[in-house]
Structure 1
Amino acid sequence: MSESTQTGGALPWGPAAAGGIGSMPGTDAREAARTVTGAFEAPQHLPHLPELPARGPGADMLGRTAGLLAEMYVHLEPSGWRISDRPGRDTRRARAWLGEDLDALEEFTQGYGEGEAPRGLKVSAVGPWTLAAGLERRNGEAMLGDSGAVRDLAGSLAEGLAAHLADVRRRVPGAVPVLQLDEPSLTAVLRGSVRTASGYRTHPAVDRAVVEGVLRELLAVHDGPTVVHSCAPGVPLGLLHRAGADAVSLDLSLLTERDDEMIGAAVEGGLRLFAGVVPSTAPDSGALSDPAGSVGGVRSLWRRLGLSPGLLAESVVVTPTCGLAGASPAYARQALAHCVRAARALADNPQ
């Protein structure tokens, strides 16, 4: 985490900001990059490097991040991704997909940030605990079951992320990279509900101090802003803020009033919220039509917490509830545009 973010300085997105999560529908990297950069072309918004899991193994969430690992390799088994002794076809394919995505992003961010303040550009990777829960050791069990394997995995991920971020800076020199760690399995890791390979048992809960320490080391790899994302319920906001995250990205509909005290303390401590309020697939009721209504839950949360309405547009980035891989391309474009309109509505009427 950079000095500016630690001390409450400016982040590379502005008030009334909107952004995406990561995944997009389809298999065309250029079209995905065009859609994301076009939707978030205004300087206060936060475009991201798209992920296209529909292309197949290696473009999925776990395979893509496994391809970033330094001196650690994977291959695909019927049961999932497994650690290998050497790089093979599956590792090479994951790296090739990522290279294609970066090429497309570079094409559509020419001149990014020129003549204005540096702009944010979000890149995502699976966080260490979801990766440990999802990658298999050679015996078929999750790496989560071996504390030494988890440490080695986190170290490899840290080194790979550092190289990835350096590549993004080189390709898009006007950008301030924002690192997002995707941790949908984090709550399950903390609760001890990640199942073993047999499915009959679960891995023991990992001590919260250990979870926090590993996340802190990963987030410290990046000297700029950091976000941790989870679409699961029970996101541990306090733990993530203590670990160094500048923002937490979550599905706002999963919060309950029981979470209020934790959320209020984190926000008052400077944590930003990436509020997932726009459905990630087309709602049954049809097209999105009410930007102000989409952020009604954010306003209600703010009122319950007793926070200043004037801080709302600065503290909240409006996003879809989760990735858009399951949406149609037309709906994905509509959802991102709706995030922009909803963010503007939130700023215009924070009460």
Structure 2
Amino acid sequence: MTQDLRAGGGGPSASGIGSLPGSDMPAAIRLVFDGLGGAPGVPYLPELPARGVGADLAGRGLALLVDLVAEVAPSGWRVADRPGRDHARALSHLRRDLDQLEEHTQGYEGPLKVQAVGPWTLAATVELKHGDKLLADPGACRELAESLSEGVAEHLAELRRRVPGARLVLQLDEPALPGVLRGSVPTASGFGKLRAVEEPVVRDTLRRLVETIGESAPERVPVVFHCCAPDVPFATFRGAGAAAVALDWSLLTTRQDETVAELVEAGVGLYAGVVPSLDPAAKVPLRYQDVVDSVLALRRVGLSARQLAEAVTVTPACGLAGASPQWAGRAQRLCLDAARALADVD
């Protein structure tokens, strides 16, 4: 249920999508916990892609794989025969990040969200050793998903050891999934498109990952599926066992209203990306009440303001890696202030 995602056992909350600007992880962790470390905040392990190779979305996901390694080729990440410098760099980033998180969270008790790239976005990004992207090979996709499932389960177990007071939430990032379902992912050459993957195959792969994580955990770990692209596959995520779906609120269309209402009524939460991810160009400052109004505009789907407030975790529209440090901090405070205001909605 949505209440499993909350800082205080129910009601609206606030969080971030994951990425932040800069390369200073201790400072990023402090920013997150200073902004979201109190109720109803859901702090998270930051991602700092500005650090380069291995700190990007795909690199962090590849660092989690079991018995699969990759290297950086001129065209991007590619499956490799043995661990090399690029793989070692990705592992090093992740291990240092966990060390610094553990140091900062001594005695912490409360929710903690961690992010990992989903199997379909990873398959649409990484190339085989000799050939096209992993997405072109159904067998390679299955192997990748199994490896990622095992690696994520181990990652969560490591976080439990390091932050024993944390109630973990897992976010799986699937920005490429609409393209996987449509058949619009470019081939490695860029001259063609890879064949669409059937929706039941996509859904079942994601569901197995969720089940693997659940079976390996001593307590339930809610899984949030994040997709900041248009045409979020809500039904696929719901069928895969999503506890919540994270999305760019500005991309919601009226034809999706009924689907969103069904999600909320079924107890699936919404990570509502209503705060801009980049510094706003407007001279008029964004207020937390503007954020609240954006959330409550979804009453058009027939839900009450209270139903919406209970279902929502307020977040930026997407990651904050491209924002200024000042806006990154301000954006998180806006999310938290808006969540507190939503708690008072009747």
Tell me the TM-score normalised to structure 1 length.
0.93
Q: What is the letter of the counterpart of residue 337 of structure 1?
A: R
* Shift of residue 139, structure 1, vs aligned partner: 1.9
* Residue 13 (structure 1) aligned with residue 4 (structure 2): no
Give deviations 1:151-201, integer Å, cap 9, x for gaps.
000011011111100010000000011111000000000000001122221
**Is the counterpart of residue 208 in structure 1 residue 204 in structure 2?**
no
Distance in 1 (CA, whole Å) between partners of 2:331 and 2:3 is: 30
Letter aligned with residue 316 of structure 2: P
Structure 1 unmatched ranges of 5 or more:
114-118
Paired with 1:9 and 1:276, the residues of 2 have a C-alpha distance of 18
User: What is residue 227 of structure 2 aligned with on the other side?
Assistant: 230
In 2, Cα distance between equivalents of 1:286 and 1:47: 29
Q: Give 1:348 shift.
A: 2.7
Letter in 1 for 2:36: F
Q: Which residue of 2 aligns with 1:290?
A: 287
> Secondary structure of 1:348's match?
coil
Aligned to 1:57: 53
Q: How does 1:48-197 map to 2 (within 5 A)?
A: 48-113=44-109, 119-197=110-188
Unaligned ranges ≥5, structure 2: 215-220
Paired residue for 1:116?
none
- Secondary structure in 2 matching 1:221: helix
Cα distance in structure 1, aligned partners of 2:19 and 2:200 = 30
- Quick one: which amino acid aligns to residue 322 of structure 1? C
Indicate whether 1:261 and 2:258 are aligned: yes
Q: Which amino acid aligns with 1:165?
A: L
Counterpart of 1:27?
23
Task: State the SS of the aligned residue for 1:248.
Answer: strand
Q: Which moved more, 1:147-156 or 1:11-20?
A: 11-20
The amino acid across from 1:29 in the alignment is M
Deviation per residue, 1:187-228 (Å, 9 max, x gap): 000000001122221111110000000000111232311100
Distance 1:70 1:347, change over 3 A: same
Cα separation, 1, equivalents of 2:149 and 2:309? 32
Q: Distance in 1 between matches of 2:279 and 2:5?
A: 31
Structure-2 separation of matches of 1:207 and 1:226: 22
**What is the rounded CA distance, in whole Å, between the counterparts of 1:289 and 1:35 in structure 2?**
20
**Equivalent position SS for 1:220:** helix
Superposition deviation, residue 344 in structure 1:
1.9
Counterpart of 1:321? 317
Percentage of pairs with the same residue: 53
Deviation of 1:144 after TM superposition, in Å, equals 0.1
The one-letter code of the counterpart of 1:66 is: L
For the 8 Å contact 2:5–2:169, the answer to whether it is kept is no
Helix, strand or coil for the counterpart of 1:222?
Answer: helix
- Contact 1:13–1:44 at 8 Å: present in 2 too? yes
Instruction: Find the counterpart in structure 2 of residue 312 from structure 1.
Output: 308
| Residue 272 of structure 2 is aligned to residue 275 of structure 1 | yes
The separation in 1 between residues aligned to 2:41 and 2:202, in whole angstroms, is 31
1:229-257 deviations in Å (ceiling 9; x for gaps): 01101001111011101000000000011
Distance (Å, rounded) in 2 between the aligned partners of 1:122 and 1:287? 32
The amino acid across from 2:172 in the alignment is: L
Q: Which residue identity does 2:282 align to in structure 1?
A: S
Name the counterpart of 2:246.
Answer: 249
Q: TM-score, normalised by structure 2?
A: 0.95
Letter in 2 for 1:332: A
Is the 2:40–2:336 contact (alpha carbons within 8 Å) kept by the matching residues of 1? no
Distance of 2:3 and 2:320 partners within structure 1: 31
Contact kept in structure 2, 1:82 and 1:140, CA below 8 Å: no
Instruction: Describe the SS at the equivalent of 1:273.
Output: strand
SS for the counterpart of 2:323 is coil
Aligned-partner Cα distance in 2 for 1:286–1:163: 46
1:332 maps to which of 314, 328, 332 = 328
- SS of residue in 2 equivalent to 1:59: coil
Deviations 1:233-286 (A, max 9, x none): 100111101110100000000001111011111111111000000001101014
1:47 paired with 2:38, answer: no
- Does residue 199 of the first structure (1) align with residue 157 of the second (2)? no
Distance (whole Å) between structure 2 residues aligned to residue 69 and residue 97 of structure 1 = 15
- The residue identity in structure 2 corresponding to 1:300 is A
For the 8 Å contact 1:179–1:222, the answer to whether it is kept is no
In 2, Cα distance between equivalents of 1:295 and 1:12: 18
Query: How far apart are 1:13 and its partner, in Å?
Result: 2.7
Contact 1:18 1:45 in 2 (8 A): yes
Secondary structure of the residue aligned to 1:83 is: strand
